[in-house]
Amino acid sequence: MIHDKYNKEVTGAEALILALLDAGAKDVFGYPGGAIMPIYDALYDYSDKLKHYLVRHEQGAIHAAQGYSRVSDKVGVVFATSGPGATNLITGIADAQIDSNPVVCITGQVASHLIGTDAFQETDVIGISMPVTKWNIQVTKAEDIAPAIAKAFYIATSGRPGPVLVDITKDAQFGKTIYNYKKCEGIRSYIPYPKVNIESVKQAADLINKAKKPFILCGHGVLLSESQKQLLELAEKGNIPVASTLLGLSAFPAQHPLYVGFLGMHGNYGPNILTNECDVLIAIGMRFDDRVTGKVSTYATQAKIIHFDIDPAEINKIIHADVAVIGDAKESLDLLLPLIESTNGKERKEWLKRFEECHQIEFEKVIKTAVNPTTPSIKMSEVIDKFHKLSEGKAIVATDVGQHQMITTRYYQFHDTNTNVTSGGLGTMGFGLPAAIGAKISRPDKQVVVVVGDGGFQMTIQELGTIMDYNIPVKILLLNNNFLGMVRQWQQLFFEKRYSFTELKNPDFVAIAKAYGINGKKITERKDLNGALKEMLDSKESYLLEVLVETEENVFPMIATGASVSEIILE
Amino acid sequence: METTYTISVFTEDIVGLLNRITIIFTRRNINIESMIASESEVKGIYRYTIVITVLPERIEKIVKLIEKQVDVMKAFYHVNDEIISTEIALYKISAEAIKQNELFIKTINKHHARIIRVSFDYIVVQKAGGAKGIMDLFNDLEQFGMLEFSRSGRVAVTKPMKTLSTYLKEIEISNSN
């Protein structure tokens, strides 16, 4: 009943819980400590409405919240205490900022009279988090808590999403206030959805209609704006090939004949090399990351560039846009689509054939042996290929960072939308396992598999405790090469094989999993691979499958740092 | 070629916002030459006037990043020709200067400066103007014994006539759509 909640005197801590519920939060990832104890005390009475997951390290909480937000339209919520609790969130906040994840972090702070006195567990989390948050605020009064939460949710989710942080002093948590909640619907200084300029849409349509060799680059913005259908329609109407950035994966069905692959440093051959052959480049919700562009001065210089983005600061940041369409991608594409001439699949056949030819080259030189190797040891690529086939591309796949990540994004063909959970911009090792936990809690209906390497797994391995505690059926596919593989690959290629501190002496991972009550298996031979993957996928509970893979496998194709996209090497 | 730009930022009055803006410069290793914060002609809206020298291709990107901050209403940048600007400087001179009274007064007049305080041990001179004029006076006054010197940052108004309230209205319309 509404009337017993509003206009009632409550503590600031209770007001926070009520405000989170009013903002639509259902799950929280957190870790208690001194400065956030009143909030945890209030939570005690609401644990049936607001489900709290006690992680084993604050970094686990923030990555879980990211994974939670990435696979649905829900907002990730995090609790942490002051000082070390708050600073332990920073890596994840930076990751959420660069990858545009809507996350609301609540940190406890020492009482306001102690601020600035070097009190126990006091740190300037507002100052520290400022460069990596979309917005942050310190609240020192109980009555300011609910409005701050309303604003935090609005800012985190609107426009280009991002992480926000609300730091609440202990006296504000203890203080009394009359609870009221008013949803934030606008801030006068903030324009989350710039009005789309119809003239620029017309110019874009004109360029696309005249193009002989148009090429769509699909980014994370397509997922964030939920414009997958519009993108599909644009591609089909114009018979235009679509390639995806790392974070754009799963926005366009990988099985679609117009899907030509994955862009960037370890992406597919065709989409990279043909970036420098297209005549109109249509970038949608992507930011021309250096891992996508390679050498900027030689990037698509022959093409007219159309850049769709909601963030005006992304326009002309890296690549000059001949036509910039600023605004929500869905709204922009809805305006664009009626202006696109239908080709009925007849036009641009020669151009599409170029992608097929490139795919054939990549298939012969890379993919064929990668998914069907004759080497004595197992290759990461064949593991992912088999995992893809067994799961029909329908699992939510979280990855950590490194070779296994690039192999997964290359060989897992995402069938369902919003199923790729990876740390793109920041490249945070340790992201995978907690992000998968969050993803599974967000989407319990989906099979969630995290692919990790032996390095990154050990950076947040403590979250096996969270899996055990809450019985979260996350499947862990550990590709173990006993190396920090990606760094080793670079040492091999660019540092004369001087393998400086990249070889890992590893523990018995299966035994560790078993200590947490998680069933698992290690396999070393190819013949056991299919059966073991099936066993992992069929398990009703969390499961660790460790696959011992080739020690010195390299990820190819590759665009070396500073090289042009057209200089991608295949072997 | 590196150019000097005056950036005007109109913001809400919020603790820490200045820091959010300065880190945009520090992250990019850009030196802030001067920065002034004061209330603007619209009550409750603050104006930061920031002077930096950067390559022309960088300025637009920087201003967009400032404008991207949630609590920033609007940010503009102008080259020197597009603004009317001034600075103010205070020069504390040893009272010994009185001994060369005629030359001292002549120097002050030449620079259109004025004496705002005469005390037993020192004299304070004030000058408003461009950076060059201020430094020229500094050089001329040094011979009298400079005890202290302090310069404000640049304050500026723009020559273009569009008012802040027009922009605020535009933002309002944009958000209500």
- In order of their start, the domains of chain B are 3-83 (3.30.70.260), 84-151 (3.30.70.1150)
Percentage of chain A lying above the pLDDT 70 cut = 99
Q: Residue B24: closest CA among chain A residues belongs to which residue?
A: A131
Query: Cβ of A195 and B65 within 8 Å?
Result: no
Q: How many CB pairs under 8 A join A and B?
A: 52
Given an 8 Å threshold on Cβ–Cβ distance, is A187 in contact with B61?
no
- Alpha-carbon gap, residue B127 to A421, rounded angstroms: 61
Confidence of residue A484 (pLDDT cuts 50, 70, 90): very high
Nearest to B174 among A191, A311, A313 (CB): A191
Are B64 and A313 in contact (CB < 8 Å)? yes
C-alpha A214/C-alpha B19 separation (Å) is: 43
Interface of B with A in 102-161 (CB under 8 A): none
Per-residue CA distances from A41 to A32, A45, A52, A83 (Å): 10, 8, 12, 19
The gap between the terminal CA atoms of chain A, to the nearest Å, is: 65
Residues A91, A536: Cα–Cα separation, whole Å = 30
How far is it, in rounded angstroms, from Cα A497 to Cα B26?
A: 37
Contact at CB, A127 and B175, closer than 8 angstroms: no
CB within 8 Å of A495: residues ≥ 6 apart: none
Which of B18, B69, B70 would best serve as a mutation to test chain A binding (most A beta carbons within 10 A)? B70
Do the strands A280-284 and B83-94 form a parallel or antiparallel pair, or are they unpaired? unpaired
Distance CA(A160)–CA(A100), nearest Å, equals 6
On whether any CB of chain A is under 8 Å from the CB of B97, the answer is no
Same fold, A9-178 and A198-355: yes
Across the interface, whether the CB atoms of B23 and A131 are under 8 A apart is answered yes
Q: Would you say A252 and A388 are in contact if contact means Cβ atoms under 8 Å apart?
A: no
CA angle B99, B100, B101 (to 5 degrees): 90
Nearest to A286 by CA among A352, A216, A236, A192: A216
Q: Which fold has domain A198-355?
A: Rossmann fold (3.40.50)
User: If residue B45 lies in a helix (H) or strand (E), which one and from where to where?
Assistant: strand B45-54
Per the omega criterion (within 30 degrees of 0), is the bond before A557 cis? Answer: yes
C-alpha pair distances (Å), A268 with each of A79, A264, A333, B9, B151: 40, 8, 26, 44, 58
Query: Does B19 sit within 8 Å of A127, measured CB to CB?
Result: yes
Q: Is there a contact between B35 and B49 (Cβ–Cβ < 8 Å)?
A: yes
Tally DSSP H helices, then E strands, for chain B: 5, 9
CA distance A109 to chain B (A): 17
Q: Which two tokens stand for residue A514?
A: 């078993």
* pLDDT of A344 higher than 90: no
- HEC letters along B27-96: HCCCCCCEEEEEECCCCCEEEEEEEEEECHHHHHHHHHHHHHCCCEEEEEEEEHHHEEEEEEEEEEEEHH
Closest-CA distance of chain B to residue A162, Å: 11
Identify the residue whose tokens are 């259902």. A26
Say whether domain A372-548 belongs to CATH 3.40.50.970: yes
Residues in chain B within 8 Å Cβ distance of A126: 16
Residue B20, Cβ neighbours under 10 Å: how many?
Answer: 21
Burial category of B57 from C-beta neighbours within 10 Å (exposed 0-12, middle 13-18, buried 19 and up) = exposed
Option in B15, B19, B71 nearest A189 (CB): B71
What burial class does residue B14 get, using C-beta atoms within 10 Å of its C-beta: 0-12 exposed, 13-18 middle, 19+ buried?
Answer: middle
Those of residues 50-89 in B touching chain A at CB distance below 8 A are 60-61, 64-65, 67-68, 70-73
Point out the residues of A that are catalytic: 58, 120-121, 170, 486
Asked if A311's CB is within 8 angstroms of B61's CB, the reply is no
Asked if B174's CB is within 8 angstroms of A194's CB, the reply is yes
B162 or B73: which leads in pLDDT: B73
For an interface test with B, which of A189, A309, A310, A318 has the most B Cβ atoms less than 10 Å from its Cβ? Answer: A189
pLDDT (tens digit, 9 = 90+) per residue, A147-203? 999 999 999 999 999 999 999 999 999 999 999 999 999 999 999 999 999 999 999
Give the DSSP per-residue string, A438-477: HHHHH-TTS-EEEEEEHHHHTTSGGGHHHHHHHT---EEE
**Å between A317 CA and nearest CA of chain B:** 6
List residues bridging with A547 in a β-sheet.
A479, A523
Is pLDDT of B162 > 90?
Answer: no
Handedness of CA A466, A468, A469, A471 (dihedral sign): positive
CA distance A468 to A158: 35
| CA–CA distances in Å: residue A376 to residues A407, A459, A469, A551, B55 | 19, 30, 39, 11, 56
Q: How far apart are CA A247 and CA A213, in angstroms?
A: 24
- Cα–Cα distances (Å) from A212 to A300, A535, B45, in that order, read 15, 49, 51
Q: Do A126 and B72 touch (CB under 8 A)?
A: no
Mean pLDDT for the stretch of residues A408-430: 97
How many CB atoms are located within 10 Å of the residue A571 CB? 9
Sign of CA dihedral A406, A402, A65, A436: positive
Average pLDDT of the residues in A89-118: 98
Name the phi and psi angles at A108, rounded to 5: -75, 150
Task: Give the strand pairing for A9-11 and A176-178.
Answer: antiparallel
Q: Tell me the one-letter amino acid at B173.
A: I
Mean pLDDT, rounded, for A487-499: 96
Where are the domains positioned within chain A?
A: 9-178, 198-355, 372-548
Nearest to B12 among A155, A189, A195 (CB): A189
Task: Give the nearest partner residue to B70 out of A126, A189, A316, using CB atoms.
Answer: A189
Count other Cβ atoms within 10 Å, centred on residue A58: 27
pLDDT score at A1: 41
CATH of domain A9-178: 3.40.50.970
Question: Which pLDDT does position B177 carry in this prediction?
Answer: 57
At A81 the three-state DSSP class reads: coil
Cβ neighbours of A315 in B, within 8 Å: 64
Q: Do B23 and A126 touch (CB under 8 A)?
A: no
Question: Helices A58-70 and A432-442, interaxial angle, to 10°?
Answer: 50
Residues 6+ apart with CB under 8 A from A486: A401, A402, A403, A406, A555
Residues of A in contact with B15 (CB under 8 A): 138
Which residues of A fall within a CB distance of 8 Å from B12?
A: 189
Q: Considering all CA atoms of chain B, what is the largest pairwise distance in Å, rounded to the nearest integer?
A: 70
Q: What SS3 state is found at A367? A: helix
Measured between CA atoms, the residue of chain A closest to residue B71 is A189
Using the Cβ of B29 and the Cβ atoms of chain A, whether some distance falls under 8 Å is answered with no
**What is the rounded average pLDDT for all residues in chain A?**
97
Nearest chain A CA: its distance from B127 CA (Å): 37
Q: How far is B29 from chain A (nearest CA, A)?
A: 14
Does the pLDDT value for residue A513 go beyond 50? Answer: yes
pLDDT category of residue A79 using cuts at 50, 70 and 90: very high
pLDDT digits (tens, 9 = 90+) for A362-373: 999 999 999 999
Alpha-carbon gap: B79 to the closest alpha carbon of chain A (Å)? 20
Residue B70 distance to chain A (closest CA, Å): 5
Most confident of the ranges A83-97, A339-353, B37-51, B93-107:
A83-97
Mean pLDDT for the stretch of residues A248-266:
96
CA separation, residue A536 to residues A226, A398, A521, A529, B104 (Å): 32, 15, 9, 11, 90
Interface of A with B (CB under 8 A): 126-127, 130-131, 134-136, 138, 155, 186-191, 194-195, 311-313, 315-317
pLDDT at residue A540, as a whole number: 97
3-state secondary structure of A138: strand
What pLDDT does residue A25 have? 98
Amino acid at site A268? N
Are A313 and B60 a contacting pair at CB < 8 A? no
Residues from chain B contacting residue A136 (CB–CB below 8 Å): 16
CA A115 to chain centre: 35
Q: Hey, are the CB atoms on B70 and A126 less than 8 Å from each other?
A: no
Of B19, B64, B175, the CB nearest to A130: B19
Nearest chain B Cα distance for residue A310, angstroms: 11
For chain B, what percent of residues have pLDDT higher than 90? Answer: 79
The span from the CA of A530 to the CA of A386, in Å, is: 7
Å between A137 CA and nearest CA of chain B: 9
pLDDT for A20-31, tens place per residue? Answer: 999 999 999 999
Q: H-helix or E-strand containing B9?
A: strand B3-12
- B175/A316 CB distance under 8 A: no
Q: What percent of chain A has pLDDT over 90?
A: 97
Identify from B20, B69, B175, B176 which residue to disrupt to test chain A contact, counting A C-beta atoms within 10 A and taking the largest count.
B175
pLDDT tops 50 at residue A536: yes
Q: CB distance A155–B70 less than 8 Å?
A: yes
Nearest CA in chain B to A186: B175
Res A2: pLDDT: 47
CB A71, CB A421: distance < 8 Å: yes
